A and B are shown apart, each in its own frame.
Chain A
Amino acid sequence: MSGIIMPQPDSTILARAAQIVAALREVLPEDTVISDGNETRAYECDALTAYRCPPLAVVLPRSTAEVAAAMRICSEMGVPVVPRGAGTSLAGGALPTADCVVIGTARLRDVLEIDTDNRFMRVQTGVTNLSVSEVLAPHGFFYAPDPSSQLACTIAGNIAMNSGGAHCLKYGVTTNNLMGATVVLTSGEIVEFGGSQAGAAGLDLLGLLCGSEGQLGIVTEAVLRILPRPEGARPVLIGFDSAEVAGECVARIIRSGVLPVAIEYMDEPCLRAVENFAKAGYPDCPAVLIVEVEGSPDEIAVQIAHIREIADALNPVEFRESRNADDALAIWKGRKSAFGAMGRLGDYICLDGTVPVGQLPHTLRRIGELSKEHGLEVANVFHAGDGNMHPLILFNANEPGQLERAEAFGADILRLCVEVGGCLTGEHGVGIEKRDLMTAQYDPDDLAIQMEVKDVFDPAWLLNPAKVFPLDSSARYRQRAAE
């Protein structure tokens, strides 16, 4: 077991496990409550697999009313609740505790309304991100946030983590594409934040909810902003012989007024792994950018000409255009297989710190130095246009002490991100993984006001316990709640 500590389960709750399950069964349909140890094991972790703990029970409701019923029982009986989508969180956001009930959205999968005249859709939040775009495709529309995990991850998890994707440089992250949410509060009350109109006049509770990592309520339905699909899209690949110059190219593109949909960056260790794994035919150089633009064929040509002009001034090793769909796929192939390729090299931790774009070269250099100090390899593949880095620290989980070393290295990188004016996490969330680093980014008062807000929504501190806020910082609130 490694560095991150979870609180001891509450023995008085464990002692009441049978009563709690019985109370849930009383208000919910037969097959909704899972308490068999063999079955609850499937929910013991998310994608941060180093941390595992089967919950007391799992509830998989089919409606908002059932979620509310389950929540009400848990509140009345003082049982912690961990909301769960598909469990792809990389931050341990959906990690259960032994004394908790997991409330999962797996069966809340209906698309409720598609309204292209008003450019929104309403879904139950257990739908996967990819299926949302699939049902929109025949209408000529799409939903913009596209995490690489989109095949599996749910809209619920996306809202809770304020997830992003390759396209967010142009279209923003979840919060910029969310119009409304149906939320079950800890009291079991059902409320609507926002709606199918643009914005609301009062406090922006929807904005507060998005990215709140299951700390404030359980989201069961969402109104999503949908966009007409672009006429076409085309990537270019640009190779550079130094990270600095690649970073400079990113800044110049951003400044120029062309707004690419995506600017992705890969460094040498990543390129090597990708080459061995996917044979993408990338140039052999220290840094590669993939820049994608959208529009009609003519519009694409104009934008690519702009980008070429910018890149040429920086003497690229290669500037590769795609002439057709196959070329485009070939350019994306390596990037899309990057995580899989890295996975073949061994275990890795994927970080998610964000830095100002101008600080990219410096940050990359420092990460290289830290890699030597910690004696662990690191590869970088990330969304460069918005400075959202994804350093992958490679280690061997079977070798004692390596996970701890990797975690220490990761913590150093994240502190570096904060130091240069960035933040701990750009899209994966804090969860348990970055919980204890929150004090590196926020002063005690800055954290206190966030916990005050949590306290308003969840006065008993039952929702998603021991996440986001350092345990020391939250102790005062949790004690007050327990009294």
Chain B
Amino acid sequence: MITIIDQLAPTDEAELSELLTAASEDRQPLRILGGGTRTETKHIAGTPLDVSAISGIVTYEPGEMTLIARAGTPLPEIEAMLEAEGQSLAFEPPDLRGVLGGRGIPTIGGAIAANASGPRRIRTGACRDHLLGLRFVDGQGRILRNGGRVMKNVTGLDLSRLLCGSHGTLGILTEVAIKTLPHAQARATLGFHGTDELRALGIFSKALATPYEVSGAAFLDGTAWLRIEGLPPQVEYRQQRLLEMFGAHDIQTLDGAGTRELWRGLRDVTHFAGDLPLWRILVKPTDAPAATARLRDLGGRVSLDWGGGLIWYCGPGEASSLRQIAPHATLVRRGGVPGPAFPPEAAAITRLSQELRRRFDPAGILNPGLMDS
């Protein structure tokens, strides 16, 4: 029997499993922390369970573009290791420390638990698209495995994707296998100043319908940005073609270094640091201009990513009015807003999700209520 103290910090999977077995028998709710760089879990009643010590690279095979790491491994450590081999995490996990005010170091497990995906999502997909397999411990302390370490795998039900983005409510990740990507050798950015959301959307839709593999399409403070990546001659060619296509506009271009810096900021939403509530809203891209106009009427500011498919809204608008404008709105930084962070879902989906949670976590001890809407 393990006595529950005020902070739990298992150092390996076996210890975590024992601890969860005991906690589930005692129906002891737990608040799971990876790097602890977000603040939402503070609102959960539960003993803090810090899983960041379950850390370390298991294997990294650059020639196979596969990385296996324990879930608590810090993202900066992973990024530095990949960088040395000319590779990176294709899904560009955002580092929201600046925005969420957390103090820890983000972990790969936290990124996967949140399905954290950056601007390149429009081209290479989300975090969940780069996940090959995982190990996790469920709410009863069972050590479980799903998927594997190969790119193509349809053996059995895909629980890896189910766990990705489940914010710790189905199980605690202990090890993840992910697909890495060679760095683009060159990159450039085009900036269209003096635009509004409507014009930005026109630019995005047009650019994203070209074969030039635009890998970022974002809008902030009157400027629409497009990013292109590839081999040096490719980038030069694509940039030229896009410039010709948008000939009428006055277009600023950024080189590789400028591109890196700009997109890191856009990825991390540094422009919305502060205390006001921060919302992450998913829409059909062409719905973005109308939605942002109405959001602005509530007060506050907006920016766009994913070619308009992701709206960041930072302002005082109330949850109910916001979700009337765009139902898929998640509260990422509370800023005093009460109520659930996650948007409501259709009744059948809620029922299925709750029933799934009961199977993975019958005692309801894993981040209880975090994903309720």
Q: Which residues of A contact B (CB under 8 A)?
A: 116-119, 140-141, 161-162, 164, 168-169, 172-173, 175-176, 185, 189, 191-193, 195-205, 207-208, 210-212, 215, 228-231, 251-252, 254-259, 294-296, 298-299, 302-303, 306, 354-358, 383, 386-388, 421-430, 434, 438, 441-443, 445-447, 449-450, 452-457, 468
B185 on the A face (CB < 8 A): yes
User: Per-residue CB proximity of B208-236 to A under 8 Å, as 1/0?
Assistant: 11110000000000000000001101100
- Indicate if the CB atoms of A255 and B182 lie closer than 8 Å: yes
Please pick, from B149, B157, B208, B359, the residue contacting A211 in the complex, using a CB distance under 8 A.
Answer: B157
- Indicate if the CB atoms of A456 and B359 lie closer than 8 Å: yes
- Indicate if the CB atoms of A356 and B150 lie closer than 8 Å: yes
- Indicate if the CB atoms of A296 and B152 lie closer than 8 Å: no
- Indicate if the CB atoms of A210 and B63 lie closer than 8 Å: no
B144 on the A face (CB < 8 A): yes
- Indicate if the CB atoms of B152 and A387 lie closer than 8 Å: yes
- Indicate if the CB atoms of A426 and B282 lie closer than 8 Å: no
- Indicate if the CB atoms of B64 and A356 lie closer than 8 Å: yes
Question: Which single residue of chain A is at the shortest CB-CB distance from B282?
Answer: A197
Instruction: Assess A211 versus B154: contact at CB under 8 Å? Given A299-B234, A303-B231.
Output: yes
Q: List 26 A-B contacts (CB under 8 A).
A: A118-B205, A161-B154, A162-B154, A162-B158, A176-B129, A197-B328, A199-B126, A201-B343, A202-B343, A207-B162, A207-B164, A211-B154, A230-B211, A257-B184, A257-B231, A302-B233, A356-B61, A357-B64, A387-B150, A423-B153, A425-B155, A429-B154, A438-B156, A446-B146, A449-B138, A449-B359
Min C-beta distance of B269 to chain A, whole Å = 16
Q: How large is the interface on B (under 10, 10 to 19, 20 to 34, 35 or more residues)?
A: 35 or more
B107 on the A face (CB < 8 A): no
Q: How far is the CA of A442 from the CA of B135 in the complex (A)?
A: 12
- Residues from 121 to 176 in B contacting A, C-beta threshold 8 Å: 121-122, 125-126, 128-129, 138, 142-146, 148-159, 161-162, 164-166, 170
CB neighbours of B353 from chain A (8 A): 202-203, 205
CB neighbours of B237 from chain A (8 A): 296, 298-299
Q: How far is the CA of A240 from the CA of B211 in the complex (A)?
A: 33
User: Per-residue CB proximity of B287-302 to A under 8 Å, as 1/0?
Assistant: 0000000000000000
Please pick, from B62, B122, B352, the residue contacting A255 in the complex, using a CB distance under 8 A.
Answer: B62
B60 on the A face (CB < 8 A): no
CB neighbours of A193 from chain B (8 A): 349
CB neighbours of B373 from chain A (8 A): 202
- Indicate if the CB atoms of A450 and B159 lie closer than 8 Å: yes
- Indicate if the CB atoms of A119 and B158 lie closer than 8 Å: no
- Indicate if the CB atoms of B359 and A251 lie closer than 8 Å: no
Min C-beta distance of B184 to chain A, whole Å = 8
Q: How far is the CA of A446 from the CA of B126 in the complex (A)?
A: 25
Min C-beta distance of B283 to chain A, whole Å = 5
CB neighbours of A449 from chain B (8 A): 138, 142, 144, 146, 159, 359-360
B86 on the A face (CB < 8 A): yes
Q: How far is the CA of A456 from the CA of B356 in the complex (A)?
A: 7
Q: How far is the CA of A383 from the CA of B158 in the complex (A)?
A: 21
Question: Which single residue of chain B is at the shortest CB-CB distance from A256?
Answer: B182
CB neighbours of B150 from chain A (8 A): 354-356, 386-388, 421-423, 426
User: Per-residue CB proximity of B176-188 to A under 8 Å, as 1/0?
Assistant: 0000001111000
Q: How far is the CA of A203 from the CA of B346 in the complex (A)?
A: 12
Question: Which single residue of chain B is at the shortest CB-CB distance from A225?
Answer: B125
Instruction: Assess A199 versus B138: contact at CB under 8 Å? Given A228-B211, A423-B148.
Output: no
- Indicate if the CB atoms of B145 and A443 lie closer than 8 Å: yes
Min C-beta distance of B242 to chain A, whole Å = 13
B342 on the A face (CB < 8 A): yes
Q: How far is the CA of A141 from the CA of B208 in the complex (A)?
A: 11
Instruction: Assess A302 versus B231: contact at CB under 8 Å? Given A203-B162, A453-B157.
Output: yes
Q: How far is the CA of A189 from the CA of B144 in the complex (A)?
A: 31
CB neighbours of A172 from chain B (8 A): 125, 129
Among all A-B residue pairs, the 4 with the closest Cβ atoms = A207-B161, A426-B152, A257-B182, A386-B151
- Indicate if the CB atoms of B359 and A452 lie closer than 8 Å: yes
Instruction: Assess A257 versus B155: contact at CB under 8 Å? Given A421-B149, A442-B145, A449-B144.
Output: no
Min C-beta distance of A411 to chain B, whole Å = 14
CB neighbours of B145 from chain A (8 A): 442-443, 446
- Indicate if the CB atoms of B156 and A354 lie closer than 8 Å: no
- Indicate if the CB atoms of B285 and A118 lie closer than 8 Å: yes
Q: A203-B170, A204-B128 are in contact. List 17 more A-B contacts (CB 8 A).
A: A173-B154, A175-B158, A198-B126, A198-B306, A201-B282, A201-B342, A202-B353, A202-B373, A203-B353, A207-B128, A299-B237, A356-B66, A386-B151, A421-B148, A438-B156, A449-B144, A450-B157
- Indicate if the CB atoms of B154 and A191 lie closer than 8 Å: no
Q: How far is the CA of A231 from the CA of B210 in the complex (A)?
A: 9
Q: How far is the CA of A230 from the CA of B143 in the complex (A)?
A: 44
Q: How far is the CA of A258 from the CA of B166 in the complex (A)?
A: 34
Please pick, from B154, B328, B348, B371, the residue contacting A185 in the complex, using a CB distance under 8 A.
Answer: B348
User: Per-residue CB proximity of B222-258 to A under 8 Å, as 1/0?
Assistant: 0000000011011001000000000000000000000
- Indicate if the CB atoms of B154 and A450 lie closer than 8 Å: no
B309 on the A face (CB < 8 A): yes
